[in-house]
Amino acid sequence: MTEKPKTSVLYNASCPVCNFEMQHYRQYAVQEDLPIRFDDLNSEARAVWGIDADTAARRLYVLHKGTLYSGIPAFLVLWAQMPKYRWLGRIVGLPGIRQIAALLYDYILAPLIYRWHLHRLRKSRAVGER
């Protein structure tokens, strides 16, 4: 990247779903030399965000030009920074679709992925205790 990132993404790299999607976006950002930084919430990078690990694991966070976004608004900001995905942001950002997408993300998708994350944590702790 030739310039300092103006957009930063905080995501859970230990979540297979989150990591797959964010690695795809990271690879695209690197290929296109986009000023986007991707921070794993399981690394020391999370400390600069001021968000505890449990809160960060519950949803996607994007910091853009000093403003923190989470959930669907975070995806919209991220997609707007990526020419290949701007069309997706425009569609999801349409009135009505945005509200439905936010409801689906906030009440179904994000909680489901978070519960899966907690299950994986419990399982890994149980294996470690053997």
Q: Using one digit for the tens of pLDDT, what is the confidence trace for 84-106?
A: 999 999 999 999 999 999 999 99
CB of 4 closer than 8 Å to CB of 35: yes
The two three-digit tokens of residue 124, written as one number = 């890994």
Which three-class secondary structure state does DSSP give residue 120? helix
This prediction has a pTM of: 0.91
At residue 30's C-alpha, the angle toward residues 28 and 34, to 5°, is: 90
Confidence of residue 124 (pLDDT cuts 50, 70, 90): confident
Residue 67 amino acid letter? T
pLDDT for position 1: 44
pLDDT tens sequence across 112-123: 999 999 999 898
Cβ distance 69 to 61 under 8 Å?
A: yes
Tell me if 73 sits within 8 A of 41, measured CB to CB: no
Q: Which residue has the higher pLDDT, 3 or 91?
A: 91
